Amino acid sequence: MEYILKNIQILYGENLQLKTNYAVWIKDGYIINVLPEDRLPENIKIYDGGGKYVLPGLIDLHVHMMWDGSHNPVATLESEGYEQMLIRAVSYCRTYLQNGITTVRDIGSVDDIALHVARSINRGLIDGPTLIASGKTLTMTGGHDPFWARFIDGKEEALKGVREQIFKGAEVIKISSTGGVYGRTEGEEVGHVELNLDEQKVICDEAHKFGLKVASHAIGREGIYNSITAGVDTIEHGHFLDDELVSMMEKRGTAWIPTLYVYQQIAKQEGIPDYAKRKAEEIVDIHSNAFKQFFDRDILVGAGSDAGSPKTPHPTLLEELKAMHDLVGDTKEILKTATVNAGKILGYKVGQVKENYEADFLLLDRNPLDHLDHLKDIKQVYKKGKLFSKC
Protein backbone atom coordinates (compact mmCIF):
# COMPACT_ATOMS: atom_id res chain seq x y z
CA MET A 1 0.00 0.00 0.00
CA GLU A 2 1.51 3.28 -1.15
CA TYR A 3 -0.11 6.67 -1.73
CA ILE A 4 0.23 10.39 -1.08
CA LEU A 5 -2.31 12.55 0.72
CA LYS A 6 -2.22 16.21 -0.33
CA ASN A 7 -4.26 19.39 0.20
CA ILE A 8 -4.06 19.04 3.96
CA GLN A 9 -2.94 21.09 6.95
CA ILE A 10 -0.55 19.00 9.01
CA LEU A 11 0.09 19.25 12.74
CA TYR A 12 3.62 18.03 12.29
CA GLY A 13 6.19 16.45 14.60
CA GLU A 14 6.64 16.75 18.33
CA ASN A 15 5.66 20.43 18.43
CA LEU A 16 2.45 19.93 16.43
CA GLN A 17 3.73 22.61 14.05
CA LEU A 18 1.14 23.63 11.47
CA LYS A 19 2.42 22.86 7.96
CA THR A 20 0.43 23.96 4.92
CA ASN A 21 1.14 23.16 1.28
CA TYR A 22 2.72 19.87 2.37
CA ALA A 23 1.70 16.29 1.65
CA VAL A 24 2.11 12.98 3.50
CA TRP A 25 3.64 10.02 1.67
CA ILE A 26 2.45 6.65 3.06
CA LYS A 27 3.99 3.27 2.30
CA ASP A 28 3.38 -0.10 3.99
CA GLY A 29 1.69 1.49 6.99
CA TYR A 30 4.38 4.10 7.69
CA ILE A 31 4.90 7.77 6.88
CA ILE A 32 8.00 7.72 4.71
CA ASN A 33 8.03 11.45 3.92
CA VAL A 34 6.32 14.76 4.58
CA LEU A 35 7.15 16.89 1.59
CA PRO A 36 6.15 20.11 -0.19
CA GLU A 37 3.29 19.73 -2.64
CA ASP A 38 5.40 21.15 -5.46
CA ARG A 39 7.87 18.25 -5.11
CA LEU A 40 5.54 15.26 -5.32
CA PRO A 41 6.93 12.19 -7.10
CA GLU A 42 5.30 10.79 -10.20
CA ASN A 43 3.62 7.41 -10.63
CA ILE A 44 2.26 7.24 -7.06
CA LYS A 45 -1.46 7.44 -6.35
CA ILE A 46 -2.48 10.80 -4.88
CA TYR A 47 -5.56 11.53 -2.78
CA ASP A 48 -6.99 14.97 -2.01
CA GLY A 49 -7.53 15.70 1.70
CA GLY A 50 -9.97 18.51 1.04
CA GLY A 51 -8.07 21.06 3.10
CA LYS A 52 -8.62 19.09 6.32
CA TYR A 53 -6.38 19.20 9.38
CA VAL A 54 -4.18 16.14 9.92
CA LEU A 55 -3.57 15.22 13.55
CA PRO A 56 -1.74 12.17 14.94
CA GLY A 57 -4.03 9.36 16.02
CA LEU A 58 -5.02 9.79 19.66
CA ILE A 59 -3.62 7.55 22.41
CA ASP A 60 -5.33 6.55 25.66
CA LEU A 61 -2.78 5.16 28.09
CA HIS A 62 -5.14 3.78 30.75
CA VAL A 63 -8.34 1.87 30.02
CA HIS A 64 -10.15 -1.31 31.07
CA MET A 65 -11.84 -2.68 27.96
CA MET A 66 -13.98 -5.33 29.65
CA TRP A 67 -15.60 -2.88 32.12
CA ASP A 68 -18.76 -1.07 31.09
CA GLY A 69 -18.33 2.41 32.63
CA SER A 70 -21.56 2.12 34.62
CA HIS A 71 -21.95 3.36 38.19
CA ASN A 72 -20.67 -0.01 39.45
CA PRO A 73 -18.75 -2.00 36.81
CA VAL A 74 -17.83 -4.77 39.24
CA ALA A 75 -21.53 -5.53 39.68
CA THR A 76 -21.89 -5.81 35.90
CA LEU A 77 -18.82 -8.04 35.79
CA GLU A 78 -20.28 -10.37 38.40
CA SER A 79 -23.58 -10.67 36.54
CA GLU A 80 -22.26 -11.14 33.00
CA GLY A 81 -19.65 -13.88 33.07
CA TYR A 82 -16.54 -14.37 30.96
CA GLU A 83 -18.15 -14.65 27.52
CA GLN A 84 -20.12 -11.42 27.81
CA MET A 85 -17.09 -9.55 29.13
CA LEU A 86 -15.08 -10.73 26.14
CA ILE A 87 -17.78 -9.66 23.68
CA ARG A 88 -18.06 -6.30 25.44
CA ALA A 89 -14.31 -5.71 25.09
CA VAL A 90 -14.38 -6.60 21.39
CA SER A 91 -17.33 -4.27 20.79
CA TYR A 92 -15.41 -1.30 22.16
CA CYS A 93 -12.51 -1.78 19.75
CA ARG A 94 -14.26 -0.27 16.74
CA THR A 95 -15.72 2.48 18.95
CA TYR A 96 -12.21 3.61 19.80
CA LEU A 97 -11.19 3.77 16.15
CA GLN A 98 -14.32 5.67 15.20
CA ASN A 99 -13.43 8.29 17.80
CA GLY A 100 -9.91 8.75 16.50
CA ILE A 101 -8.17 6.73 19.21
CA THR A 102 -5.71 4.55 17.34
CA THR A 103 -3.64 3.27 20.28
CA VAL A 104 -4.93 2.08 23.65
CA ARG A 105 -3.15 0.69 26.70
CA ASP A 106 -5.33 -1.69 28.73
CA ILE A 107 -3.86 -2.16 32.20
CA GLY A 108 -6.10 -4.58 34.05
CA SER A 109 -8.54 -7.20 32.79
CA VAL A 110 -10.24 -10.23 34.26
CA ASP A 111 -8.80 -13.55 33.08
CA ASP A 112 -6.41 -11.71 30.73
CA ILE A 113 -9.28 -10.80 28.40
CA ALA A 114 -7.41 -7.83 26.93
CA LEU A 115 -4.52 -10.08 25.91
CA HIS A 116 -6.90 -12.19 23.81
CA VAL A 117 -8.48 -9.11 22.24
CA ALA A 118 -5.07 -7.63 21.43
CA ARG A 119 -4.02 -10.89 19.79
CA SER A 120 -7.18 -10.91 17.66
CA ILE A 121 -6.52 -7.34 16.49
CA ASN A 122 -2.93 -8.22 15.61
CA ARG A 123 -4.10 -11.25 13.61
CA GLY A 124 -6.62 -9.14 11.69
CA LEU A 125 -9.65 -10.98 13.06
CA ILE A 126 -11.25 -7.78 14.35
CA ASP A 127 -10.82 -4.07 13.73
CA GLY A 128 -9.40 -2.12 16.60
CA PRO A 129 -6.70 0.22 17.81
CA THR A 130 -3.20 -0.92 18.60
CA LEU A 131 -3.94 -2.54 21.96
CA ILE A 132 -1.10 -2.75 24.46
CA ALA A 133 -2.36 -4.97 27.26
CA SER A 134 -1.14 -6.13 30.65
CA GLY A 135 -3.79 -8.73 31.37
CA LYS A 136 -3.88 -9.42 35.08
CA THR A 137 -2.48 -6.90 37.56
CA LEU A 138 0.26 -8.02 39.94
CA THR A 139 -1.19 -7.37 43.39
CA MET A 140 -0.58 -8.45 46.95
CA THR A 141 -3.03 -11.03 48.29
CA GLY A 142 -6.23 -9.14 49.04
CA GLY A 143 -4.90 -5.98 47.39
CA HIS A 144 -6.38 -3.39 45.07
CA ASP A 145 -8.60 -4.66 42.23
CA PRO A 146 -8.61 -8.32 43.31
CA PHE A 147 -11.05 -9.29 40.53
CA TRP A 148 -8.28 -9.14 37.90
CA ALA A 149 -5.28 -9.74 40.13
CA ARG A 150 -2.49 -12.24 40.00
CA PHE A 151 -1.76 -12.32 43.75
CA ILE A 152 1.91 -12.25 44.73
CA ASP A 153 3.61 -12.10 48.13
CA GLY A 154 7.38 -11.87 48.38
CA LYS A 155 10.17 -11.60 45.83
CA GLU A 156 9.94 -15.17 44.52
CA GLU A 157 6.24 -14.87 43.77
CA ALA A 158 6.84 -11.44 42.23
CA LEU A 159 9.34 -13.00 39.83
CA LYS A 160 6.96 -15.85 39.04
CA GLY A 161 4.05 -13.48 38.48
CA VAL A 162 5.82 -11.16 36.07
CA ARG A 163 7.20 -14.11 34.11
CA GLU A 164 3.71 -15.59 33.83
CA GLN A 165 2.31 -12.39 32.33
CA ILE A 166 5.20 -12.10 29.90
CA PHE A 167 4.67 -15.73 28.84
CA LYS A 168 0.96 -15.03 28.23
CA GLY A 169 1.82 -12.18 25.88
CA ALA A 170 1.57 -9.07 28.06
CA GLU A 171 3.16 -6.03 26.44
CA VAL A 172 3.14 -3.97 29.64
CA ILE A 173 3.16 -5.04 33.30
CA LYS A 174 0.69 -3.47 35.72
CA ILE A 175 1.23 -3.46 39.48
CA SER A 176 -0.74 -2.14 42.46
CA SER A 177 1.56 -0.21 44.76
CA THR A 178 -1.21 1.29 46.91
CA GLY A 179 -4.84 0.89 47.73
CA GLY A 180 -7.43 2.61 45.60
CA VAL A 181 -10.76 4.41 45.55
CA TYR A 182 -12.87 1.79 43.75
CA GLY A 183 -12.24 -1.92 44.08
CA ARG A 184 -12.63 -3.54 47.47
CA THR A 185 -15.70 -2.47 49.43
CA GLU A 186 -13.83 -2.50 52.75
CA GLY A 187 -10.35 -2.93 54.17
CA GLU A 188 -8.66 -0.75 51.54
CA GLU A 189 -7.60 2.89 51.69
CA VAL A 190 -5.71 4.99 49.15
CA GLY A 191 -2.73 5.46 51.46
CA HIS A 192 -2.21 1.77 52.12
CA VAL A 193 1.15 0.47 50.89
CA GLU A 194 0.60 -2.80 49.05
CA LEU A 195 3.43 -4.29 46.99
CA ASN A 196 6.63 -3.36 48.82
CA LEU A 197 9.84 -1.93 47.39
CA ASP A 198 11.63 -5.28 47.09
CA GLU A 199 8.71 -6.91 45.28
CA GLN A 200 8.41 -3.99 42.87
CA LYS A 201 12.12 -3.97 42.13
CA VAL A 202 12.08 -7.65 41.17
CA ILE A 203 9.13 -6.99 38.85
CA CYS A 204 10.75 -3.95 37.22
CA ASP A 205 14.10 -5.65 36.73
CA GLU A 206 12.53 -8.70 35.10
CA ALA A 207 10.10 -6.76 32.93
CA HIS A 208 12.83 -4.43 31.71
CA LYS A 209 15.04 -7.41 30.91
CA PHE A 210 12.36 -8.49 28.43
CA GLY A 211 11.83 -4.96 27.07
CA LEU A 212 8.49 -4.34 28.81
CA LYS A 213 7.50 -1.24 30.74
CA VAL A 214 5.87 -1.26 34.18
CA ALA A 215 2.82 0.83 35.11
CA SER A 216 2.11 1.37 38.80
CA HIS A 217 -1.26 2.14 40.35
CA ALA A 218 0.03 4.52 43.00
CA ILE A 219 -2.05 7.07 44.92
CA GLY A 220 -0.52 7.39 48.41
CA ARG A 221 2.87 9.01 48.89
CA GLU A 222 4.83 6.05 50.28
CA GLY A 223 3.62 3.77 47.53
CA ILE A 224 4.57 6.33 44.88
CA TYR A 225 8.02 6.62 46.46
CA ASN A 226 8.49 2.84 46.39
CA SER A 227 7.44 2.65 42.74
CA ILE A 228 9.77 5.41 41.58
CA THR A 229 12.66 3.93 43.56
CA ALA A 230 11.99 0.45 42.15
CA GLY A 231 12.14 1.78 38.59
CA VAL A 232 8.57 1.76 37.29
CA ASP A 233 8.02 3.56 34.01
CA THR A 234 4.69 5.25 34.74
CA ILE A 235 2.90 6.42 37.85
CA GLU A 236 -0.84 5.95 37.34
CA HIS A 237 -2.98 8.49 39.23
CA GLY A 238 -0.33 9.97 41.55
CA HIS A 239 -2.61 12.08 43.75
CA PHE A 240 -0.08 12.63 46.51
CA LEU A 241 2.87 13.65 44.37
CA ASP A 242 5.06 16.31 45.94
CA ASP A 243 8.17 18.22 44.97
CA GLU A 244 10.58 15.56 46.21
CA LEU A 245 8.78 12.77 44.36
CA VAL A 246 8.59 14.78 41.14
CA SER A 247 12.32 15.56 41.38
CA MET A 248 12.93 11.81 41.63
CA MET A 249 10.76 11.25 38.56
CA GLU A 250 12.70 13.88 36.63
CA LYS A 251 16.00 12.17 37.41
CA ARG A 252 14.74 8.68 36.56
CA GLY A 253 12.58 9.52 33.56
CA THR A 254 9.37 8.32 35.23
CA ALA A 255 6.21 9.44 33.43
CA TRP A 256 2.86 10.40 34.96
CA ILE A 257 -0.64 9.35 33.85
CA PRO A 258 -2.93 11.44 36.12
CA THR A 259 -6.43 10.13 35.16
CA LEU A 260 -8.20 13.19 36.60
CA TYR A 261 -11.67 12.78 35.14
CA VAL A 262 -12.55 9.40 36.63
CA TYR A 263 -11.99 10.59 40.20
CA GLN A 264 -14.05 13.71 39.55
CA GLN A 265 -16.85 11.47 38.32
CA ILE A 266 -16.69 9.13 41.30
CA ALA A 267 -16.71 12.08 43.69
CA LYS A 268 -19.74 13.84 42.21
CA GLN A 269 -21.99 11.37 40.40
CA GLU A 270 -25.00 9.69 41.98
CA GLY A 271 -25.24 5.91 42.18
CA ILE A 272 -21.54 5.36 42.86
CA PRO A 273 -20.95 2.92 45.74
CA ASP A 274 -20.71 4.91 48.99
CA TYR A 275 -17.29 3.59 49.98
CA ALA A 276 -15.77 4.76 46.68
CA LYS A 277 -17.54 8.11 46.66
CA ARG A 278 -16.26 8.90 50.17
CA LYS A 279 -12.65 8.19 49.25
CA ALA A 280 -12.83 10.13 45.98
CA GLU A 281 -14.30 13.18 47.69
CA GLU A 282 -11.37 13.21 50.13
CA ILE A 283 -8.66 13.30 47.46
CA VAL A 284 -10.06 14.89 44.30
CA ASP A 285 -8.89 18.41 45.20
CA ILE A 286 -5.47 17.09 46.21
CA HIS A 287 -5.26 15.49 42.77
CA SER A 288 -6.19 18.72 40.96
CA ASN A 289 -3.67 20.75 42.94
CA ALA A 290 -0.89 18.27 42.16
CA PHE A 291 -1.69 18.46 38.46
CA LYS A 292 -1.65 22.26 38.42
CA GLN A 293 1.59 22.36 40.39
CA PHE A 294 3.59 19.72 38.53
CA PHE A 295 2.29 19.68 34.93
CA ASP A 296 5.08 21.98 33.73
CA ARG A 297 7.90 20.06 35.37
CA ASP A 298 10.41 18.03 33.36
CA ILE A 299 8.37 14.84 33.28
CA LEU A 300 6.28 13.36 30.50
CA VAL A 301 2.57 13.63 31.29
CA GLY A 302 0.36 11.25 29.33
CA ALA A 303 -3.40 11.10 28.93
CA GLY A 304 -5.25 8.14 30.38
CA SER A 305 -8.99 8.11 30.91
CA ASP A 306 -9.46 4.97 33.05
CA ALA A 307 -12.39 4.28 30.72
CA GLY A 308 -14.62 1.47 31.88
CA SER A 309 -14.41 2.63 35.48
CA PRO A 310 -17.44 4.12 37.31
CA LYS A 311 -19.27 6.71 35.19
CA THR A 312 -16.37 6.71 32.71
CA PRO A 313 -17.64 5.01 29.55
CA HIS A 314 -15.67 4.02 26.45
CA PRO A 315 -14.22 6.29 25.19
CA THR A 316 -13.66 9.13 27.66
CA LEU A 317 -10.34 10.47 26.41
CA LEU A 318 -11.76 13.82 25.30
CA GLU A 319 -13.31 14.35 28.74
CA GLU A 320 -9.92 13.60 30.32
CA LEU A 321 -8.23 16.14 28.05
CA LYS A 322 -10.83 18.75 28.95
CA ALA A 323 -10.43 18.01 32.66
CA MET A 324 -6.70 18.66 32.29
CA HIS A 325 -7.35 21.79 30.24
CA ASP A 326 -9.63 23.17 32.95
CA LEU A 327 -6.61 23.13 35.29
CA VAL A 328 -3.85 24.02 32.81
CA GLY A 329 -5.18 26.02 29.88
CA ASP A 330 -2.46 25.33 27.31
CA THR A 331 -4.33 23.57 24.51
CA LYS A 332 -1.26 22.42 22.60
CA GLU A 333 0.47 20.97 25.66
CA ILE A 334 -2.72 19.18 26.73
CA LEU A 335 -3.22 17.75 23.24
CA LYS A 336 0.37 16.48 23.30
CA THR A 337 -0.47 14.32 26.34
CA ALA A 338 -2.65 12.17 24.05
CA THR A 339 -0.31 12.25 21.05
CA VAL A 340 3.37 13.17 21.24
CA ASN A 341 3.92 12.53 24.96
CA ALA A 342 1.91 9.32 24.95
CA GLY A 343 3.93 7.93 22.05
CA LYS A 344 7.18 8.72 23.85
CA ILE A 345 5.89 7.10 27.05
CA LEU A 346 5.06 3.93 25.14
CA GLY A 347 8.35 3.96 23.27
CA TYR A 348 6.45 3.29 20.03
CA LYS A 349 6.60 5.13 16.72
CA VAL A 350 3.15 6.61 17.22
CA GLY A 351 1.77 9.96 18.35
CA GLN A 352 3.33 12.11 15.63
CA VAL A 353 2.77 12.86 11.97
CA LYS A 354 6.41 12.56 11.05
CA GLU A 355 8.79 10.59 8.87
CA ASN A 356 9.31 6.94 9.95
CA TYR A 357 6.26 6.96 12.25
CA GLU A 358 3.29 4.66 11.86
CA ALA A 359 0.63 6.15 9.61
CA ASP A 360 -1.95 6.64 12.37
CA PHE A 361 -3.69 9.97 11.85
CA LEU A 362 -7.02 11.77 11.70
CA LEU A 363 -8.61 14.23 9.31
CA LEU A 364 -10.54 17.01 11.06
CA ASP A 365 -12.64 19.90 9.79
CA ARG A 366 -11.18 22.35 12.30
CA ASN A 367 -7.88 22.87 14.07
CA PRO A 368 -7.95 21.13 17.49
CA LEU A 369 -5.32 23.60 18.74
CA ASP A 370 -8.05 26.23 18.61
CA HIS A 371 -10.43 24.19 20.77
CA LEU A 372 -10.38 20.61 22.04
CA ASP A 373 -14.03 20.16 21.06
CA HIS A 374 -12.86 20.17 17.44
CA LEU A 375 -11.73 16.60 18.14
CA LYS A 376 -15.40 15.68 17.82
CA ASP A 377 -15.38 16.66 14.14
CA ILE A 378 -13.46 13.66 12.83
CA LYS A 379 -13.97 13.02 9.14
CA GLN A 380 -11.55 10.17 8.57
CA VAL A 381 -9.38 7.88 10.68
CA TYR A 382 -6.28 6.15 9.33
CA LYS A 383 -4.70 3.21 11.14
CA LYS A 384 -1.33 2.07 9.76
CA GLY A 385 -2.25 3.82 6.55
CA LYS A 386 -5.61 2.08 6.17
CA LEU A 387 -8.71 4.26 6.05
CA PHE A 388 -11.48 3.66 8.57
CA SER A 389 -14.44 5.91 7.80
CA LYS A 390 -16.03 7.52 10.83
CA CYS A 391 -19.58 6.27 11.37
**CATH code for position 385:** 2.30.40.10
For residue 138, the one-letter residue type is L
What confidence tier does 390 reach under pLDDT thresholds 50, 70, 90?
low
Query: Does residue 271 sit in the same domain as residue 323?
Result: yes
Query: Does residue 373 sit in the same domain as residue 236?
Result: no
* CB-count exposure of residue 241 (10 Å: 0-12, 13-18, 19+): buried
What is the mean pLDDT of the segment spanning 250-265?
98
Model pLDDT, residue 391: 44
What is the mean pLDDT of the segment spanning 317-338?
98
3-class SS of residue 120: helix
Model pLDDT, residue 183: 84
Model pLDDT, residue 257: 98
Query: Does residue 97 sit in the same domain as residue 239?
Result: yes
CA angle in degrees (0–180, nearest 5) for 110-99-3: 115
Angstrom distance (rounded) from CA 251 to CA 346: 18
What is the mean pLDDT of the segment spanning 240-265?
98
193: left (phi over 0), alpha (psi -120 to 50) or beta: beta
Query: Does residue 159 sit in the same domain as residue 69?
Result: yes
- Closest among 27, 76, 20, 26 to 53, alpha carbons compared: 20
Query: Does residue 309 sit in the same domain as residue 278?
Result: yes
The percentage of residues in the chain with a pLDDT greater than 70, rounded to a whole number, is 99
Query: Does residue 384 sit in the same domain as residue 304?
Result: no
- Per-residue pLDDT of 174-186, as tens digits, reads 999 999 999 888 8
Structural domain for 76, as ranges: 58-346
Distances (CA, A) of 343 to 61, 147, 250, 308: 9, 29, 18, 22
Query: Does residue 51 sit in the same domain as residue 149?
Result: no
Distances (CA, A) of 233 to 86, 301, 344: 28, 12, 11
Are 352 and 339 contacting, i.e. CB atoms less than 8 angstroms apart? Answer: yes
CATH number for the domain harbouring residue 256: 3.20.20.140
Query: Does residue 368 sit in the same domain as residue 317?
Result: no
Domain total for the chain? Answer: 2
Lowest mean pLDDT among 80-84, 177-181, 213-217, 382-386: 80-84
Q: Side by side, which strands form the sheet with 361-364? A: 30-36, 17-27, 2-12, 46-56, 361-364, 378-383, 386-389
Q: What is the pTM of this model?
A: 0.97
Per DSSP, the residues of 48-108 read: EEEEEEEEEPEEEEEE-TTS--SS-HHHHHHHH-HHHHHHHHHHHHHHHHHTTEEEEEE--
Angstrom distance (rounded) from CA 72 to CA 138: 22
Q: What is the dihedral of CA 177, 295, 109, 227, to 10 degrees?
A: -20
Query: Does residue 338 sit in the same domain as residue 363?
Result: no
Query: Does residue 299 sit in the same domain as residue 359?
Result: no
Query: Does residue 377 sit in the same domain as residue 264?
Result: no
Query: Does residue 18 sit in the same domain as residue 93?
Result: no
